[in-house]
């Protein structure tokens, strides 16, 4: 818009105004980017601000999404579990007398306002077609996490026979409130708060299940692995792998360990002999496959890495001697097998079978079978090679028959084991 400097709305026949209008400077009014006000534009070229994000700004936004997304998954799972628990306990008490209004009746005078508000939101969702699943046409679905908590607190005598520790539940819900507010408003979530949220959510889910284990695997890992055939993490090298997944955590509670590699350095150098003796003594079946230190494949690998003659073979021999000493300290040495193979090594694999829980499919607790796979690169040592973390069954689609990567590597291990030779 352009207005004369002498004023707006002056007619052409105004006395003495035409000359002033022709001589006065012109002021150009431009709207701001928000469109809220008119400001005088600068004389000369106007610099238009760049609207595109820089690479650093995109990366910052991605990082926020990663943190908030992880927290959202845990919060969503907690809310679903708490909602189901409230329904199981309170529905049989109030629904026979109050029908669909049972939630309002359970809320009582103190919660009548938010119960009616939830009912109004439910009606709007019905009219506008927001209820995509008939199972969501339920009054409990429209209650927030604090409101579900309030129902539980008001009726604690009804929940007490099923839940041991009310204080533990309330403390965990308190810890989740910070993340819930941040995530619901798309604000910045810190790594510290995320870690607190994941610990509190896992602890709460275990308590709500009566201490039956809750979530044995990382929920987000399982969701990601559904797209990537069991792969739940990728690390650029073994240093980053061991920072996020130490060997102690990998082998914690293991019932079976199958390991294949040139020298199995991650096991022999980062896991003490005492720990390995204790693990085997607790019933873990161990099968270790080393590359034969006298094979021609060792010499080829030494040339690839630029090592001196027999340098790698001596390292393998030392590791084999270490695990032989471990085996010698066991009462049942039949469950600790050591073999060597002569084929060209293609990867290192640590395949861990977790503890079994009676009453579940196949007798195995879902999500506890793990695998760490490292391919061999021509010029890189094992410490410098990328590592994949696999979680068994995480990539299996419901009703699917395609095996995940963990099963593929198990088959490969069995094939090499069948062609190997025992070490006395």
In 3-state terms, the chain is what percent helix, strand and coil (to 5)?
A: 55, 15, 35
Say if residue 5's pLDDT is above 70. no
Residue range 251-277, pLDDT digits in tens: 988 999 999 999 999 999 999 999 999
Separation CA 152–CA 100 (nearest Å): 19
Residues present in the chain in total: 424
| Mean pLDDT for the chain overall | 82
List the single range of 179-193, 332-346, 393-407 with lowest mean pLDDT: 393-407
- Buried b or exposed e, range 280-304, using 16+ CB within 10 angstroms: beeebbbbbbbbbbebebbeebbee
- pLDDT band, residue 132 (cuts 50/70/90): confident
> Residue 243: is it exposed, middle or buried by C-beta count within 10 angstroms (0-12/13-18/19+)?
exposed
Separation CA 262–CA 341 (nearest Å): 9
How far is CA 261 from each of CA 32, 227, 240, 375, rounded to the nearest angstrom? 65, 28, 19, 10
List the single range of 129-143, 325-339, 344-358, 392-406 with lowest mean pLDDT: 392-406
Separation CA 362–CA 55 (nearest Å): 48
- pLDDT band, residue 6 (cuts 50/70/90): very low
Confirm if 389 and 250 have CB atoms less than 8 A apart.
no
pLDDT at 53: 86
Query: What residues form DSSP beta bridges with 256?
Result: 285, 353
Confirm if 389 and 313 have CB atoms less than 8 A apart.
no
Confirm if 54 and 35 have CB atoms less than 8 A apart.
no
Name the DSSP class of 47: P
Of 374, 404, 401, 405, the closest CA to residue 387 belongs to 374
List the single range of 9-18, 94-103, 178-187, 328-337 with lowest mean pLDDT: 9-18
How far is CA 84 from each of CA 78, 176, 307, 351, rounded to the nearest angstrom? 10, 18, 61, 36
- pLDDT band, residue 398 (cuts 50/70/90): very low
Cα 406 from chain centre? 19
Contacts of 330 (CB under 8 A, 6+ apart): 277, 280, 281, 336
The residue-averaged pLDDT of 278-284 equals 93
The residue-averaged pLDDT of 126-144 equals 88
Say if residue 221's pLDDT is above 70. no
Q: For 272-279, which contacts have Cβ atoms below 8 Å and span 24 or more sequence positions?
A: 273/322, 273/325, 273/326, 273/329, 275/248, 275/251, 276/323, 276/326, 277/326, 277/329, 277/330, 279/251, 279/254
Confirm if 367 and 222 have CB atoms less than 8 A apart.
yes
Residue range 48-95, pLDDT digits in tens: 667 888 888 888 888 888 888 888 989 998 999 999 999 999 999 999
Residue range 23-41, pLDDT digits in tens: 555 555 555 544 444 555 5
Percent of all residues in the chain with a pLDDT value above 70, rounded to a whole number: 78
Q: What are residue 128's phi and psi, to 5 degrees?
A: -90, 0
Confirm if 90 and 96 have CB atoms less than 8 A apart.
no
pLDDT at 59: 86
Say if residue 14's pLDDT is above 60. no
pLDDT at 320: 96
Beta strand 387-391 pairing with 231-235: antiparallel
- pLDDT band, residue 372 (cuts 50/70/90): very high
Of 86, 158, 143, the closest CA to residue 111 belongs to 143
pTM of the model as a whole: 0.58
Of 170, 217, 220, the closest CA to residue 194 belongs to 220
The residue-averaged pLDDT of 112-121 equals 88
Say if residue 367's pLDDT is above 80. no
pLDDT at 75: 92
Q: What are residue 230's phi and psi, to 5 degrees?
A: 85, -15
The residue-averaged pLDDT of 140-157 equals 91
Confirm if 118 and 141 have CB atoms less than 8 A apart.
no
The residue-averaged pLDDT of 289-299 equals 93
Say if residue 378's pLDDT is above 60. yes
Contacts of 35 (CB under 8 A, 6+ apart): none
Percent of all residues in the chain with a pLDDT value above 90, rounded to a whole number: 41
List the single range of 6-15, 105-114, 198-207 with lowest mean pLDDT: 6-15
Q: Which domains does the chain have, with CATH numbers?
A: 57-213 (no CATH), 224-355+366-422 (3.30.870)
């Amino acid at each position: 818009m352009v207005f004369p400097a002498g004023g707006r709305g002056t007619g052409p026949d105004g006395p003495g105004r035409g000359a002033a209008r022709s001589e006065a400077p012109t002021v150009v009014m431009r709207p701001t980017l928000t469109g809220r006000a008119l400001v005088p534009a600068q004389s000369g070229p106007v610099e238009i601000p760049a609207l595109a994000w820089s690479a650093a700004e995109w990366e910052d936004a991605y990082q926020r999404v990663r943190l908030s997304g992880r927290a959202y998954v845990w919060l969503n799972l907690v809310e679903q579990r708490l909602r189901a628990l409230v329904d199981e306990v309170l529905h049989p008490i109030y629904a026979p007398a109050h029908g669909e209004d049972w939630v309002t009746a359970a809320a009582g005078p103190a919660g009548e306002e938010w119960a009616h508000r939830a009912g109004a939101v439910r009606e709007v969702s019905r009219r506008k077609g927001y209820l995509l699943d008939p199972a969501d046409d339920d009054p409990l679905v429209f209650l927030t996490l604090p409101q579900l908590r309030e129902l539980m607190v008001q009726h604690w005598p009804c929940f007490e026979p099923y839940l041991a520790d009310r204080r533990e539940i309330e403390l965990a819900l308190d810890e989740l409130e910070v993340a819930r507010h941040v995530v619901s408003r798309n604000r910045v979530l810190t790594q510290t708060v995320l870690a607190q949220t994941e610990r509190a959510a896992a602890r709460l889910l275990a308590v709500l299940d009566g201490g039956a284990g809750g979530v044995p695997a990382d929920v987000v890992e399982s969701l990601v692995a559904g797209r990537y055939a069991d792969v739940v993490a990728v690390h650029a090298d073994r240093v980053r792998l061991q920072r996020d997944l130490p060997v102690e955590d990998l082998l914690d509670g293991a019932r079976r360990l199958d390991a294949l590699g040139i020298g199995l350095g991650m096991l022999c150098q980062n896991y003490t002999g005492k720990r390995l003796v204790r693990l085997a003594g607790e019933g873990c079946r161990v099968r270790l496959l080393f590359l034969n230190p006298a094979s021609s494949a060792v010499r080829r690998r030494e040339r690839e890495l630029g090592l001196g003659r027999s340098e790698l073979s001596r390292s393998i021999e030392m590791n084999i001697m270490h695990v032989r000493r471990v085996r010698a300290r066991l009462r049942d040495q039949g469950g600790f097998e050591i073999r060597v193979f002569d084929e060209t090594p293609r990867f290192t694999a640590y395949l861990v079978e977790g503890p079994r829980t009676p009453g579940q499919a196949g007798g195995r607790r879902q999500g506890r079978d793990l695998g760490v796979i490292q391919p061999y690169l021509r010029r890189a040592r094992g410490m410098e090679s990328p590592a994949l973390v696999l979680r068994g069954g995480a990539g299996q689609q419901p009703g699917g028959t395609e095996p995940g990567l963990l099963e593929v590597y198990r088959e490969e291990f069995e094939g090499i084991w069948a062609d190997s030779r025992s070490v006395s």
